[in-house]
Amino acid sequence: MKAVDRQLEQPGRRTASGLGLALLRGGLFALPLLFFALFYFYPLIAILRVSFASAEESIAGIVSLWRDSYYLSVLWFSVWQAALSTALTLALGLPIAYVFARYRFWGKTLLRALATVPFVLPTVVVAAAFAALLGQNGVVNTILGDLLGIPALLKLENTLTLILIAHVFYNLTVVLRIVGGFWANLDPRMVEAARVLGASRWRAWVEVTLPLLMPALGAAALLIFLFTFTAFGTILILGGPRFATVEVEIYRQAVDFFNLPVAGALSVLQIIATLALTVVYTRLQERASLPLDLRPQTTVQLPVVGWRRRLLVGAVVGVLLLLLLAPLLALAYRSIALGGEWTLQFYRLLQQNQRNSYFFVPPLTAVRNSLMFASATTILALLLGVPAAYALTRRERWLRAILDPLFILPLGTSAVTLGFGYIIALDEPPLNLRTSPLLVPLAHTLIAFPFVVRAVLPVLRGINPRLREAVAVQGAGPLRVLWEVDVPIVARAIVVGAVFAFTVSMGEFGATLLLYLPDYPTMPLVIYRFIGQPGLANYGQALAMSTLLMLVTALGFVAIERLRIGDIGEF
């Protein structure tokens, strides 16, 4: 776009069509800002206005956060469990990122796709997966009971250990994507030069590789900290009543106690923390953005030959399979073996109304609803996300400094706060959408939007500006420059963003729980309903529906890996 901008600024080039194109481009850039104003800031302002209905309530809510030791303990737990989760994820993720960045081996693309599946799985599916694997009657306890004769040897339910395992399970792909993608683009000849000059492997790592990786490491660490600091479902479902993050406490104060001043004060605190973290993250991520390396990967990645390399790759692949695939495979296994025999009964029950209820909505209808919402979300997210990514490549540094953290804010914002904001703000003219099914894809678009932006932005930043200049010098207009240069390069990244938006919408749970209409349940909501009901049949149907959602997500990320440009991308 820079070359196009310079072309329009040349004397005699600012024609009527050029002015029209500039206005069109400005209008496209304004679309994401308008969307954020209506469906992000407006609901937040509405919930805070209701929460802080009077000055006395506002002051009381804020003061109570600092005077009550309980709220301080909630804040402290949110911070230290996020820091511990980040450290564990980085410690386990760095060796995996190194192997994926430096070696080529059979099944690597499939493994990377499967590693991303947990990132967008709804909390209820993850809870079902870990219950199937590590629960009192899970696969591991069953095997240990058969071998050792000790029933329920592992007792991890409602423990911090299970929370940390789930956080690593969720966020390992962040290290693999951000650090591994950056690492794959580093020229190994820099390390080889240091080794030739006499540096040991450790010294070359500390003095050459590590400083180059620091922007990517910092960005990954901040993103993981942000996700775990605002954790909701993993704490609420896997941790039980003993543990509470700021996000969980917002939910409890707003829903259980209807203490809106305290809930509002906690929301403000979380939004401020989120904004600060996203500002630092976007700065680091911009530093970690590299021009596209168009060399074949065979010139950078090494074959797995020799026992040392085979041992390293084998160990890494084994750990990855154990951590990421064991819960998912246990989930699929239990969906067809629950009750002690192989059966597809629970899948067949998904289309039956066993109680003959007039208000019954077949679970398979939820599949249709999820597909419908996901399709609408994908279209909206692309229409908004691609212009937003272009806006972040503009020359004005001050504009990028404002928009970059702004566009990633929804990832760290309380889904509970936003949900209540939608209920309050969008229940009256001019935006009376409370009884409209459109509210769900609008909320999903807000959540999927950052993924589209972060999928497209690194590719846009990596386009060599000389390509645009060469086409412009030959007399091509701005639209032709866009069509002949940008579109062929960015098209695959846009498809990647579309698949991200689709899968994120399919698995979204928090906002949907507050906003859905009874006639339009989604797959995660059906799973949550079955888990909350007693009986083997209900639990089996929850496992069956969770397995179906897991398969849809896995297929989506297999498609992403086939379309991705090398290892470019932040997720």
Q: Which helix (H) or strand (E) holds 104?
A: strand 103-104
- With respect to residue 356, please indicate whether it lies within any of the assigned structural domains: no
- Look up the CATH number of the domain holding residue 554: 1.10.3720.10
The pLDDT score that the predictor gives to residue 24 is 57
**Encoded tokens for 72:** 């301080």
Q: Please indicate, yes or no, if residue 16 is contained in any of the structural domains.
A: no
Alpha carbon distance 506, 500 (integer Å): 10
- Dihedral pair phi/psi, residue 12, rounded to 5°: 80, -5
Residue 571 falls inside a structural domain: no
**Total number of domains in the chain:** 1
Which token pair is 121? Answer: 């799985």
Whether 11 maps to a domain, the answer reads no
pTM: 0.77
Please check whether residue 521 is in contact with residue 549, taking contact to mean a CB–CB distance below 8 angstroms.
no
The pLDDT assigned to 58 comes to 58
pLDDT at position 3 is 47
d(CA 6, CA 9): 5
pLDDT (tens place) for every residue of the chain, 571 residues total: 444 444 444 444 445 445 555 655 666 778 899 999 999 888 888 877 776 665 555 566 566 667 778 888 888 999 999 999 999 999 999 999 888 888 888 878 778 777 877 877 777 788 778 878 887 777 888 887 777 777 666 778 788 888 899 899 888 988 888 888 777 777 677 777 777 777 777 777 777 777 878 888 888 888 899 888 888 778 877 787 888 888 888 878 877 777 777 777 787 788 788 778 777 777 766 665 544 443 444 556 777 777 888 898 888 888 888 888 888 888 888 888 877 778 888 888 877 665 554 445 677 788 888 889 999 999 999 999 988 888 888 767 777 777 877 887 787 676 777 777 787 788 777 778 877 888 889 989 998 898 888 888 877 777 767 777 677 777 766 677 777 777 777 887 888 888 888 888 888 877 787 787 777 888 888 888 887 777 788 888 888 888 888 887 777 766 666 655 555 555 5
State the Cα–Cα distance between residues 461 and 282, nearest whole angstrom.
13
So what's the pLDDT on residue 147? 78
> By the 8 A CB rule, do 115 and 544 touch?
no
Is 162 a domain residue? yes
Q: For 221-376, list the strands marked E by DSSP.
A: 302-303
- Sequence-distant (6+) residues with CB within 8 A of 254 are 260, 263, 416, 420
User: Which domain does 336 fall in, by range?
Assistant: 2-6+21-349+364-563
453 within a domain of the structure (yes/no): yes
- Determine contact, residues 130/264, Cβ cutoff 8 Å: no
